[in-house]
Amino acid sequence: MKRLQTIQELNQEISDSDKIVLVPTMGALHVGHFTLIKQAIEKAKQYGDNGKVAVSIFVNPIQFDRAVDLDSYPQPIEADLAHCERLGVDYAFTPDSSEIYHSDRSIHVSEDSLSSLLCGATRPGHFDGVCTVITKLFNLFQPAAAIFGLKDYQQLAIIKRLARDLNFRTEVMGGETVREESGLAMSSRNVGLTEASKAQAPAIRSAMLAAKAVYDRGETSADRILAAFRLHLAKHAPLSKIDYLECVCASTLQALKEVDKPAVIATAVFFKQVRLIDNIIL
């Protein structure tokens, strides 16, 4: 595996014949990331000898809306590189912020439809930061494919729209959410949970299942479906605080009053300063 820390190194190493499968991450790699990397390796095999897997490890400062969140984000770079080496990654791109952003930068990329609710509503500027850095990574790597986790359903939908609207020749793929035995979605943020919060956090998933059970019994009112989530979470996770909870159209991500089309329940929940997201498809 080759570690690339500058754009110059990347440009010298990546050839026009390479078919790159990119896994963008912010590091603190865990089993969820490993699953995405393994999916990337299988995808790269489709391109024969030209298939290469690249993992970017970059804590993107412009997608954080809270300074405390950025400052506390784990960055175990040596462990991350060891994981990439073990899994068989070809390139690990680990730039500094100054390598990605000029001090007088004045251009950003934004999306103004899919990002109007959910994380886009509660984290101002977040998806501008995501869209800007992904545009940069797509320009730098020119990947044949890129893989993102379905845990962040909204992010995946926005990046698919980004690739479509800006005509990137990149296949944007989703990787299934990987969960701990408790049902809690794996996240780099989980390490920040206290013991008490870690014990209650799996209630996010069980509350999702409780809401889906109401839908599966024939309920179509989004308010009543979401009420089942709130009731379950309040009972089993009193330390939690809901940041947002929405039932949205699976394609447009607009809020639904009646679930009469494919839909997604999406939530963000705080346990003190740790913000966890999850979703379930109806």
- Determine the pLDDT at residue 276: 98
Reading the block at residue 29, the tokens are: 């790699």
pLDDT tens-digit series, residues 175-189: 999 999 999 999 999
3-state secondary structure of 159: helix
What value does the mean pLDDT take over residues 51-55?
98
Reading the block at residue 69, the tokens are: 């969140």
pLDDT tens-digit series, residues 135-151: 999 999 999 999 999 99
Contacts of 144 (CB under 8 A, 6+ apart): 19, 20, 21, 47, 169, 170, 171
Question: What pTM value is reported for the model?
Answer: 0.95
E-strand stretches of 58-175: 91-93, 145-149, 171-175
- Determine the pLDDT at residue 29: 97
How far is residue 170's CA from residue 163's CA, in Å, rounded to a whole number?
Answer: 7
Is residue 108 part of the annotated active site? The answer reads no
Pick the catalytic residue: 30, 33, 83, 108?
33
What value does the mean pLDDT take over residues 69-89?
96
Band (pLDDT 50/70/90 cuts) for residue 112 is very high
Band (pLDDT 50/70/90 cuts) for residue 101 is very high
If we measure between CA atoms, which residue out of 211, 149, 208 comes closest to residue 175?
149
What value does the mean pLDDT take over residues 228-234?
98
- Supply the mean pLDDT for the chain: 97
What value does the mean pLDDT take over residues 50-56?
98
Query: Residue 183 carries which DSSP code?
Result: S
How far is residue 255's CA from residue 122's CA, in Å, rounded to a whole number?
Answer: 15
Which domains are seen in the chain, by residue range? 2-175 (3.40.50.620), 188-281 (3.30.1300.10)
- In this prediction, what percent of the chain has a pLDDT beyond 90? 98
Band (pLDDT 50/70/90 cuts) for residue 119 is very high
Band (pLDDT 50/70/90 cuts) for residue 194 is very high
Residue 68 has pLDDT above 90, yes or no: no
Which element (helix H / strand E) includes 246? Answer: strand 240-249
CA distances 28 to 32, 81, 91, 163, Å, are 11, 10, 17, 26
Pairing of strands 171-175, 240-249: unpaired
Counting every residue written for the chain, the total comes to 282
Query: Residue 21 carries which DSSP code?
Result: E
Query: Residue 149 carries which DSSP code?
Result: E
Q: One-letter amino acid identity for 83?
A: H
Reading the block at residue 279, the tokens are: 């979703």
Residue 268 has pLDDT above 90, yes or no: yes
